[in-house]
Structure 1
Amino acid sequence: MPSKRSLPAALKMARKSRGLSQEAFADVSSRTYMSTLERGLKSPTLNKLADICDVLGIHPLTLLTLSYTGGSASEVDALIARVRRELTALTRRVAS
């Protein structure tokens, strides 16, 4: 069973919160593939993750944030602040 802070758990949580079945992803994936993702048996490519998130109606970063934080508001805030700092540092180095 995947931990609360994992991509499989976040994917399942997001799917259920949207009221979608695994079959709802038929245009982008098979039910069997969705099941293997939710059980942590396979990992999606970035393109597949984007397709799945389109069906969910969320940005892929939202799903990844949920994966890393389990949805804890304080952890989301801390993660977003960290990402903002890292992006700022990286883009400054590129601009220099």
Structure 2
Amino acid sequence: MTPKSPNPNFAKALRAVRLERALSQEDFYDVSGRTYVSRLETGGADPTLSKIVQLAQVLEVHPLTLLTLAFCSKGTPAEVDRLLATVTVEVSSFEDLQLGEPDRRRRGR
């Protein structure tokens, strides 16, 4: 996280998007029990990345949408634009990012 990043609030983001989509906690039955979704929405549990992907599929949003909103206080377009601009600058600063490539530093050991 950048030094000025707020603490993420996944609980708030999940609940807001669920309510915006007019879904109940029971609508997540295929990927999670209602009790677990409730715990996620109250901050009583932290989801894994694979669980975020599953929740996003039920919500019909990209997983990054949930994560982006978790780092926003209001979720306004301007706030989202600022956050994504920061991410764009950070990603573009990598000189030789090799996603999916074997770690070259470990060869020959």
TM tier relative to shorter chain = 0.7 to 0.9
For residues 45 and 94 of structure 1, what CA distance do their matches in structure 2 show? 24
Q: What number of residue pairs does the alignment pair up? A: 90
Which structure has the highest helix share of the two? Answer: 1
Q: Scaled by the length of structure 2, what TM-score is found?
A: 0.78
Partner of 1:14: 17
1:75 deviates by 1.4
Partner of 1:80: 84
Q: Gaps (5+ residues) in structure 1?
A: none
Partner of 1:41: 44
1:72 deviates by 2.1
For residues 20 and 83 of structure 2, what CA distance do their matches in structure 1 show? 22
Give the partner amino acid of 1:24: D
| Sequence identity percentage | 46
Greater relative contact order (CA < 8 Å, ≥ 6 in sequence):
1
For residues 89 and 11 of structure 2, what CA distance do their matches in structure 1 show? 27
For residues 25 and 78 of structure 1, what CA distance do their matches in structure 2 show? 31
